[in-house]
Amino acid sequence: MSPDGTQVSGPPSPASTTVPIILDEEEIGAVWLERPGSPNPLDEVLLDRLAIAAAAAVERYGPAHTTMADPALVELVVSSDSDEAARARALRLLGFAADLPVHVIAVRSQLPPDRIGGLVRPARPVKAAPLADVGVILAAAIDPAGFPADVHAGIGAAESPGRSWRQARTALCFATPREPVIRYDDLGAPALLAEISPDTSRDNTDVAAIVRVAGNPEDLETLDACCTTGSQRWAASLLHLYHSSVARRLEQIGTTPGIELADPTGQLRARIALTAWRLLND
């Protein structure tokens, strides 16, 4: 800016005094004065204050307006191995203020995660990056209605980003075409199934029975609809089939060794086994 407070339109003049901007003991930029002649005795004091203000602005509002983030910084935020100081610094560099909550979302979609991030959180701050086989979205707030129809998402609940990321991944495992967006808080006790080792699930007779049913996609879809609705008539409506067609399919499924759908206990076992099978195949 010029001495009269207007924006300078010409090329910059040589800097008479320069002071680095320091954030978390790292130099992230500089502020300077373009004064003709010798520096004023108070120039350095003025620039010290300006550098502090610039560092505070970067810490609070972040360096970028894009939702795309450096995957290394995002991984540092959600990693369970990160210490809190490193996590806090990565969040600041991504543009999240220390007093803002951070929601972690795991997404699976053909769309890039930064585009999804812009839809579920149109205003800043929000950052997104691909990580391993899924996308990660970090946001101060979330609008679940903003998720496109073809996106599966799991939303973590914990205040700690590391724990919230694990919750988001677990919730994503429960996402289906019928219920594509899952909040971890809404899972309740079924979330405990994610803590079971894969080998234990594979050795379970009920899960093995679901594996046999899965060989026929129509049978699997019918079983899933019945487990979801708890009613043959609602399942028929969901599948756009006659009630008699659903009944015949369930009768056929009931002949599979290990699956008994005639009583509530058998239906409960089938539902738990179906969920465990999905977790194995996620």
Residue 66: the pLDDT is: 61
Residues 253 and 214 in one domain: yes
Is the pLDDT reported for residue 106 higher than 90? yes
Q: Is the pLDDT of residue 65 over 60?
A: no
pLDDT value of residue 84: 86
Cα 233 to Cα 32, 228, 240, distances in angstroms: 74, 12, 10
Of residues 244 and 64, the one with the higher pLDDT is 244
Residue 36 included in any domain: yes
Q: Is the pLDDT of residue 76 over 60?
A: yes
Check whether residue 134 and residue 225 sit in a common domain: no
In a domain, 92, yes or no: yes
117 pLDDT band (50/70/90 cuts)? confident
Task: Choose the final residue of a domain: 139, 164, 194.
Answer: 194
Q: Are residues 79 and 176 in the same domain?
A: yes
Residues 81 and 165 in one domain: yes
Residue 3 in domain: no
Same domain? For 89 and 42 the reply is no
Confidence of residue 50 (pLDDT cuts 50, 70, 90): very high
Question: What is the number of domains present in the chain?
Answer: 3
pLDDT class of 153 with cuts at 50, 70, 90:
very high
Domain limits for position 28: 17-61
Mean pLDDT of 107-123: 86
Mark whether 108 and 213 lie in a shared domain. Answer: no
Let me know: does 107 contact 138? Beta carbons within 8 Å: no
Q: What are phi and psi of 160, to 5 degrees?
A: -75, 125
Amino acid at 172: L
Same domain membership, residue 256 and residue 143: no
Region label for 36, one of left (φ > 0), alpha (ψ between -120 and 50) or beta (otherwise): beta
Q: Which pLDDT score, from 0 to 100, does residue 223 have? A: 83
Over range 269-274, report the average pLDDT: 87
pLDDT (average), residues 274-279: 87
Tell which of 153, 172, 194 closes a domain.
194
**Residues 254 and 186 placed together within one structural domain of the fold:** no
Tell me if 2 is assigned to some domain: no
- For the cut 70, the answer to whether the pLDDT of residue 62 exceeds it is no
Task: Please report which confidence band the pLDDT of residue 131 belongs to, taking 50, 70 and 90 as the band edges.
Answer: confident
Q: Which pLDDT band holds residue 52 (cuts at 50, 70, 90)?
A: very high
12 within some domain: no
Hey, what are 14's tokens? 């040589």
Q: What is the CATH number of the domain that holds 253?
A: 1.10.10.2840
Q: Is the pLDDT of residue 213 over 90?
A: no
Residues 49, 152: one domain? no
| pLDDT for the residue numbered 124 | 66
What is the b/e burial string over 69-102, where b = at least 16 CB atoms within 10 angstroms of the residue's CB? beeebbbbbbbeebeeeebbbbbbbbbbeeeeeb
Mean pLDDT of 4-17: 85
Distance CA 156, CA 172 (A): 9
Which range in 3-12, 47-56, 210-219, 231-240 is most confidently predicted, on average pLDDT?
Answer: 47-56
> 174 and 139 in one domain?
yes
Q: Which residue has the higher pLDDT, 104 or 278?
A: 104
Share of the chain above pLDDT 90, in %: 21
Q: Looking at residue 63, what is its pLDDT?
A: 52
Which pLDDT value is given to residue 227? 80
What is the predicted pLDDT for the residue at 49? 95
Instruction: With respect to residue 119, please indicate whether it lies within any of the assigned structural domains.
Output: yes
Please check whether residues 104 and 165 belong to one and the same domain.
Answer: yes
Domain end among 133, 165, 194: 194
- Tens of pLDDT, residue by residue over 155-183, are 998 788 989 999 999 999 888 888 899 99
In a domain, 26, yes or no: yes
Better-scored residue on pLDDT, 101 or 75? 75
In a domain, 177, yes or no: yes
